[in-house]
Chain A
């Protein structure tokens, strides 16, 4: 293969594409749509998985969760530990929690619910409850007779046809909480939150000082949540926290999301299967379209051979055309996808779990682009090789 052969290959490919604009547009559109069909669904699943995980990080686990050592039920000297961790450079927030179950009584109705005893100021640095208020306001450090309640416990926010027992409570209403040591106290509803996650919205938030007062304890916690600048830094910060010499368990969020992890894992497997099927479908579609296109050029291929154009030049020119179809199609697919992603970042998809923004990783984008371009090259290669191997007379006269 020399320079003149390559030049001729590109010349023939260029002229074929320029003169067959409608074919070019159709193939590029199919490529672009195939790219979108594979990446868009996958991006939604990834965005959904990400949103599930984020809801757990924001509501339940933080990036790191420090828990009592195996022999203990509490973290002791919790305040000092929190202060020490918060001094580590880069740590965004540290907050401790105590957890319990309570019985809610309102008028003649009773309902059990989980409760988080929180530090109202520190909590805002590690979770998103304060950002998820839909009514009222968040707890202040002085609020010892007020609570914040999750929307999933309230009738007015219940999904249609959901028959789960709930209260008809409004801001300012009073409820009686019975704690598991038998202590009862009346609290006023100060705020209602809705994060969109079922795992968070069934909770009640109470000032941590109440726990100390009710259970006659101090400076303890069940969990200390640590918020980091982003995901992926967990290992690095675990080492830094361990260096403080603590005996408690330090767990990254992935190890604490249990059922969500299984669910996300199942979603990802579904995503991989549908992605694979999508790729096969796209491959078949592209193959058929390019195959028909090249087969329609069988006569031209025969003429080229008859007038003395080498087989490898003819084959090369069709492979170049197929590459251009694939490349331009994938570029258009990428452009449309980026526009869709930008639009959906501004106007996220509203799903029961909350707002979901499709998530497309560079890895997936490159893999899909590569596979589709490869598919178009393969789709161009086999029919053009067959046509260029055909008997000249059969190719020209249709034998």
Chain B
């Protein structure tokens, strides 16, 4: 039996504003297998992005546990979480979030540089992944010189350059036109098939969700259902 790469147990995220408590996530338990492409869907404000942020160690849950790659990440210190993110996780944000002062290849190799790879290796890796996402002729462009779709491809390349265990994508097509959105989803699908990349993607587009292996539905912070596509 294949072990789960993500195990979430009774996860809660409560936002407190004085005495008023708001449950963004309540009693969420789920598991994701290695190589699975999972879409998290739900209405606006349902808690899907909040769930992704907890899984991606960008936020700290109020209660519950998250086990990623056999490690209880809810017990990690901030410093350990930073290292964990660098070593094992990759992120694609809705608004790309590239660093404007770095060019394409620098944005991509930054995390490899942080891992201590030598310049030859991190340049090679970055070029290789940029070729895979179709941007080998844009290596020295700055983000401001690229279209939204191209920036999102750079963001995907940056997320994948360190060969992460899991790629998290938070509404990666929300700012893109339909053609670019299609390209990005197809790219995810291709990465999932070809390199068996585990992908957890938040989306509000059912058509995109249907490209995943499974859709996890969230409603009012509670896991509603998990449906195989």
Q: Could you list which residues of chain A lie within 8 angstroms of chain B, going by C-beta atoms?
A: 2, 4, 7-8, 11, 15-16, 18-20, 299-300, 303-311, 313, 391-393, 396
Contacts and interface: CB of A to CB of B under 8 A. Distances in A.
Contacts of A2: 116
A7 B112 CA distance: 13
Contact of A306 (B85, B87, B100, B106): B85
Interface in B8-50: none
B113 A11 contact: yes
Contacts of B102: 15, 19
Nearest to A392: B58
Interface of B: 53, 58-59, 78-79, 82-87, 89, 91, 93, 97-102, 106, 110-111, 113-116, 142, 158
Contacts of A305: 82
Given A310-B82, A392-B59, A18 B111 contact: no
Contact of B111 (A16, A307, A392): A307
B54 to A, nearest CB: 11
28 contacts: A4-B113, A4-B115, A4-B116, A7-B113, A8-B110, A8-B114, A15-B101, A15-B102, A15-B106, A18-B101, A19-B100, A303-B97, A303-B98, A305-B82, A307-B85, A307-B86, A307-B110, A307-B111, A308-B87, A308-B89, A309-B82, A309-B110, A310-B79, A391-B59, A392-B59, A393-B58, A396-B93, A396-B97
A211 B97 CA distance: 92
A311 B82 contact: yes
B91 A307 contact: yes
A307 B101 contact: no
A310 B114 contact: yes
Contact of B91 (A19, A299, A306, A391): A306
Contacts of B78: 311
Given A311-B78, A311-B79, 13 more contacts: A4-B113, A8-B114, A299-B97, A300-B100, A305-B82, A307-B111, A307-B158, A308-B84, A308-B114, A309-B110, A310-B114, A311-B82, A392-B59
Chain B CB within 10 A, most for which of A18, A20, A393:
A393
B100 A309 contact: no
Contacts of B82: 305, 308-311
Contacts, number: 70
A313 B53 contact: no
A295 to B, nearest CB: 16
Contact of B101 (A7, A20, A396): A20
A193 B87 CA distance: 84
Given A8-B114, A393-B53, A396-B93, A308 B86 contact: yes
B118 to A, nearest CB: 9
Q: What DSSP secondary structure best describes chain A's contact surface?
A: helix
B98 to A, nearest CB: 8
B111 A308 contact: yes
Closest 7 CB pairs of A and B: A308-B86, A19-B101, A308-B85, A4-B116, A15-B101, A303-B97, A392-B58
Nearest to B94: A397
A2 B114 CA distance: 11
A259 to B, nearest CB: 60
A308 B115 CA distance: 9
Contacts of A11: 113
Given A308-B87, A393-B53, A396-B93, A300 B99 contact: yes
Nearest to A16: B101
Nearest to B101: A19
Given A19-B100, A305-B82, A307-B158, A4 B58 contact: no
Contacts of A311: 78-79, 82
Nearest to A304: B99
Nearest to B159: A307
A2 B115 CA distance: 11
Given A15-B102, A300-B100, A313 B93 contact: no
Question: Which of A8, A20, A299, A307: most chain B Cβ within 10 A?
Answer: A307
Nearest to B99: A300
Contacts of A18: 101
Nearest to A297: B101
Contacts of A16: 101
B110 A306 contact: no
A19 B98 CA distance: 14
B85 A393 contact: no
Contacts of A307: 85-86, 91, 110-111, 158
Contacts of A303: 97-99
A185 B78 CA distance: 98
A310 B82 CA distance: 6
Nearest to A18: B101
Nearest to B93: A396
Contacts of A310: 79, 82-83, 114
Contacts of B53: 393
A299 B143 CA distance: 15
Contacts of B142: 19
A8 B119 CA distance: 11
B86 A309 contact: yes
A15 B107 CA distance: 11
Contacts of B99: 15, 300, 303-304
Given A16-B101, A303-B97, A309-B82, A393 B110 contact: no
Contacts of A299: 97
A16 B59 CA distance: 27
B25 to A, nearest CB: 14
A391 B60 CA distance: 10
